[in-house]
Amino acid sequence: MARVNVDGGTLVVEMEGLDKLWALKSRLEIPLENVRGATIDPGIVREPKGIRAPGTHLPGVLVAGTFHINGQRVFWDVRDPNKAVVIELADERYARLILQVDDPRATVNLIEHAKQPPA
């Protein structure tokens, strides 16, 4: 599972527990201006993953790490598809982050609220 926070103008994603090992990453930092949006998408795990490089894929159990598909690099960290959030990025190493989070709705709200300009 991943923990997602906003620190100033940066989206911070921290992998928890053994996910650090499976994903071969412990932390990602993305400037908010490069975050296009976030959605809840439990069906994403049924889509093709592409070529694993490096990462872990145990069908029906775990998808974690970097995958290449259609010329794009995608980061995965999902065990429970019902808690999957897709974060779309621009001008970053990854085109998308697909993460399992504790509360998908709260995570999407956090990201969308952080992207809004102050009133």
Q: Is the pLDDT of residue 118 over 70?
A: no
Q: Is the pLDDT of residue 107 over 90?
A: yes
Look up the CATH number of the domain holding residue 81.
2.30.29
Percent of the chain predicted with pLDDT > 70 = 97
What is the total count of domains within the chain? 1
Element spanning 85, H or E: strand 84-89
Provide the domain limits for residue 18.
2-115
The pLDDT tens digits of the residues spanning 4-43 come to 999 989 999 999 988 888 788 889 999 999 999 999 999 9
Q: What is the pTM of this model?
A: 0.92
Read off the pLDDT band of 117 (50, 70, 90).
low
